[in-house]
Amino acid sequence: MSHHRPDPASTAFPRADGLLLRPFEDADAPALIEAYRDETLRRRTRNAVHDAEQAARWLAVQHEGRASGTRYAFAVLEAGGLVGNVVLKRGAAGGDRAEVGYWTAAAARGRGVAPRAVEALTVWAFEAFAGDGLVRIDLLHEGDNDASCRVAEKSGYAFTEIVPAFPPYPMDGHRHSRKRLDASEGHGSE
Ligand SMILES: CC(C)(COP(=O)(O)OP(=O)(O)OC[C@H]1O[C@@H](n2cnc3c(N)ncnc32)[C@H](O)[C@@H]1OP(=O)(O)O)[C@@H](O)C(=O)NCCC(=O)NCCS
C-alpha cells in the first residue's frame, strides 16, 4: 500500500525551459529510429533501434517500466520534434535511491538540451517520490564521456567516485550524485 508510484494528479510531467517532456508514445517510433542512426548514441547506450520492430520493443520497455514503477522515460521535444530522452530508473522496491539516464539526438547537441531535461526530471522526481523517501539520484557515465560529465556538472550532480570497469563497460566510469535539498537545508541559505 505504500507503493511507490507517483500520484499522477500531484506530479505533472517534468517542466523545462523551451522543451516539452512527456512519456514516449508509439508514434515516436520513426523519430526514435532516426535518432538511433547516430553511432555515438548506439555505442553509449549499448542499444540498437534500427527498425520498427526494435523501436516497438524499446517503447514497450518504457511502457512496462512505467507500469511497474521502475522506469520513467520522457521524450524530450523541441518545437514538436523529438530531441532527446531522459529517464529515471528505480529499484522495484522503491527506496531512497534512483538513477538518471539521458541522450540527445545528434542534431540537437551542444544547446543544453540534456542538462535542462535532467534538471527538470530531477526536480520532478524528488517531488514525485518524496513520500517514498527518495533522497539521492545517481548519474553514471563512462570515464571517457566528457560530454556526459559536463551534463552532470551543469545539472548539479557532483562527482562522487570512480566506478571500476564491469561488464559490459570496459573502462572505469564516474558516479555523480545529487541529493534532495531537504526543507531545513533549503531555508535561509543562498
Ligand atoms: C552527452 C549528451 C547527452 C550531451 O547532450 P547535450 O544536449 O548536447 O548537452 P550540452 O549541450 O550540455 O553539451 C554537453 C557537452 O557536449 C559537448 N558538445 C557541445 N556541442 C556538441 C555537439 N554539437 N556534438 C557533440 N558534443 C557537443 C561539449 O563538451 C558540451 O560541454 P560544454 O557545454 O562544456 O561545451 C550527448 O552528447 C549524447 O546524447 N551523447 C550520446 C549518448 C550519451 O552519451 N548519453 C549519456 C550516457 S551516460
Q: Would the CA dihedral through 153, 157, 160, 165 be positive or negative?
A: negative
173-179, strands of its sheet edge to edge: 15-16, 19-23, 71-78, 81-89, 97-104, 136-142, 173-179, 158-163
Predicted local distance difference test score (pLDDT) of residue 68:
95
- pLDDT digit string, tens, across residues 30-77: 999 999 999 999 999 999 999 999 999 999 999 999 999 999 999 999
Nearest CA to ligand 1 atom 13: 110
Please name the residue whose Cα sits nearest to atom 21 of ligand 1.
Answer: 110
Range of the domain at 167: 15-184
The answer to whether residue 80 sits within a structural domain is yes
Mean pLDDT (whole number) for 169-174: 95
- Residue with the smallest CA separation from ligand 1 atom 32 is 150
Cell numbers that stand for 92 in this block: 522495484
pLDDT tens readout for residues 2-41 = 455 555 444 689 999 999 999 999 999 999 999 999 999 9
Ligand 1: which atom is nearest the Cα of residue 83? 7
Which DSSP letter does residue 25 get?
-
Number of domain units in the chain:
1
For residue 14, whether the previous peptide bond is cis, meaning omega lies within 30 degrees of 0, is: no
CATH number of the structural domain spanning residue 108: 3.40.630.30
Q: Dihedral sign for Cα 124, 114, 158, 45, please.
A: positive
- Best residue among 49, 151, 169 to mutate for probing ligand 1, ranked by most atoms within 8 Å of CB: 151
In a domain? residue 3: no
Q: Find out whether the beta carbon of 154 lies less than 6 Å from any atom of ligand 1.
A: yes
Q: What is d(CA 69, CA 74) in angstroms, rounded to the nearest whole number?
A: 14
- pLDDT tens-place string over residues 119-166: 999 999 999 999 999 999 999 999 999 999 999 999 999 999 999 999
